[in-house]
Structure 1
Amino acid sequence: MEYVWLVAFYLLLIWIAITIGIAIRRLLDNMKQRTISRIELEALQKKELEKRIEILEQQLAEKDNKL
């Protein structure tokens, strides 16, 4: 009977280790996805800023032409 409890205990430890491993893997995947999303967001903001600068330069050029 002792061996049954010992096997059950080891199976419980293995299950806990697998659960912790899966949780860590999900955490790392989420961190990686957030990093990718942040990089994409920064690239998008940079493009929008460049477009805005271009529009402002055009408006300034038009204003200078009127004067």
Structure 2
Amino acid sequence: MILSEHLVRCDTDAREYETHWYNATVGRLRQVFLCHHEQVQKYSSTLETLLFTQDLDPHVLDVFHQFVALTA
């Protein structure tokens, strides 16, 4: 996932990760979750198994977990 790549790059280069691009991209991810909430909710366990796994960066994983908590 491009967000994870950004976070790794920033960590490697000792740069701040929370850039305008990062905030806009995370905001867009949240918007996609909300716009497609029925599909995301329906397939949340599959998404968690295939994409939002524990080895994903916690910053990105939190966005998914926050959405799942809203729909619980």
Give the TM-score normalised by structure 1. Answer: 0.30
Which has more helix, going by share of residues? 1
Larger radius of gyration: 1
More contact order relative to length (CA 8 Å, sep ≥ 6)? 2
Give the TM-score normalised by structure 2. Answer: 0.28
